[in-house]
Structure 1
Amino acid sequence: MRHLGRVGYEQTWARMRDFTDTRDALTRDEIWMLEHPPVYTQGQAGRAEHILAPGDIPVVQSDRGGQVTYHGPGQLVTYFLLDLHRLGFGIRSLVSRIEQAMIDLLAGYGIAAHADPAAPGVYVDHAGGLPGRAKIGSLGLRVRRGCSYHGLSLNVAMDLEPFARINPCGQRGLRMTQISELGGPDRVATVAADLEPHLLARLRPAAPSA
């Protein structure tokens, strides 16, 4: 488990690719927790029409799954450099485990959240007393050579305005929310420390079949 502070997106992405390309069967898995300076990242399936008005925020074409999202200070980003074969679960199981870790964390803050099998991520209903649902946590992963990289972003206490310049995750009109607005902590370091045990509990290796 590494806590990297605030680091650039592209340099971190390069480190993830290098880690994945050079690891072997004995390489220990790692989880990186960090923040990024303001940046839009476009997933492999991303469509240009979902980037509405980026302004002076750079747009980076990434190799993760999913559509466009925003990263910025006050958002916890967590990257999962895991050997899925060794852990014994596939990408769908990994996504569900990460989502549930975020849901477990939020429940501890008194925030009721849920996942949506049709749209990966974590959502809150009636956030701020407004109708409908809002997204609080996003997911975008890549698997190469049986190993994962990229990961989750969880909104803690950030400027949400840049999300209005895109269709977040390719969903028009999707509202975003964050932990600090729903009664939870407003420090990324606090949320990172609180999320860590939930991730470790959910990412235990699958039991071998009989």
Structure 2
Amino acid sequence: MEQYSTCFAPEPTPAASAIPAAGPVGQHLQVHRLGLVEYVPTWDQQEELLAATVAIKTHNRQAEATGGPFLPTPNHLLLCEHPHTYTLGKSGKPEHLLLDEAALAAHGASYHRINRGGDITYHGPGQLVGYPILDLDNFRPDIHWYLRTLEEAVILTLREYGLNPGRISGLTGVWLDWEENAPNPRKICAMGVKCSRWVTMHGFALNVEPDLSYFGYIVPCGITDKTVTSLAQELGRSVAVAEVQEKLLVHLAAQLGATAN
């Protein structure tokens, strides 16, 4: 079983108050604070952690049939920033990258086609990227619930800074001026995930203080009628990624009903 999210939500997104309580208290997130790291090694690390978790699940299915020992599956969370990077998901359109190879090099950016859902997005310094490698069987095996849970953790984090973030029906991610008929909807956090045997990878990218000009070289998530923003731009002041990271970690753990190191 494999499921992919996209930039467009396949079913209506619930209001924040409608998000159900998360999984059992006592689940643990092993947090990896990686700092600024290249994209490909982090992708490889995700694949390795996912494969190890799936191997444990395969062992447990066999153990259930034979009466052997049952092994708990871990839950990892990678938190990092990347150098200037563009990634295109499985359902994305290459023409949504507006730079050719020479222009990418001139801007010091790399480009990768990857196996998450969604279209094209940008990663760069000043953007908090989170990659949860979770066994959703430890929480709730429901990809829509999982995406709404990630969104809610981001929403609660941004509210600590006095913002009013929310969801736009039919789209994933977190937005400002998200209310119907609002004049200037702005995306502040993008999401795209892969889920194999209920083990997740990829995740979210929250714009804390990135160079927003790099979004001008793509059609973000293939959406042409909305803009992109950052926490620093909305507040009119600098914000440390490390500060936001720790606030978000608290909210994500709470939404999952988990502890975190």
RMSD: 1.7
Q: Match of 1:190?
A: 243
Name which structure has the greater RCO, CA cutoff 8 Å, separation 6+.
Answer: 2
Residue pair 2:173, 2:189 contacting (<8 A) in 1 also: yes
Asked whether 1:4 is paired with 2:34, we answer: yes
Q: Match of 2:254?
A: 201
Partner amino acid for 1:189? A
Q: Match of 1:21?
A: 51
Aligned partner of residue 138 in structure 2, secondary structure: helix
Q: Match of 1:99?
A: 151
TM-aligned CA deviation for residue 185 of structure 1: 5.5
TM-score computed with the length of structure 1 as normaliser: 0.91
Q: Match of 2:116?
A: 64
Residue pair 2:184, 2:226 contacting (<8 A) in 1 also: no
TM-aligned CA deviation for residue 86 of structure 1: 2.1
Q: Match of 2:171?
A: 119
Greater C-alpha Rg? 2
Distance in 1 of aligned mates of 2:164 and 2:140: 29
1:44-193 matched pairs, under 5 angstroms: 44-53=90-99, 55-56=103-104, 57-125=109-177, 131-183=183-235, 186-193=239-246
Instruction: Decide which moves more: 152-161 or 116-125.
Output: 116-125
Residue pair 1:44, 1:62 contacting (<8 A) in 2 also: yes
TM-score computed with the length of structure 2 as normaliser: 0.74
Segments of 5+ residues of structure 2 without an aligned counterpart are 1-30, 58-71
Partner amino acid for 2:37? V
Partner amino acid for 1:196? L
* Matched positions, count: 202
Instruction: Decide which moves more: 46-55 or 101-110.
Output: 46-55
Partner amino acid for 2:123? H
Residue pair 2:75, 2:133 contacting (<8 A) in 1 also: yes
TM-aligned CA deviation for residue 89 of structure 1: 3.2
Percent pairwise identity? 34
TM-aligned CA deviation for residue 141 of structure 1: 0.3
Q: Match of 1:208?
A: none
Q: Match of 2:5?
A: none
Segments of 5+ residues of structure 1 without an aligned counterpart are 206-210
Partner amino acid for 1:41? T
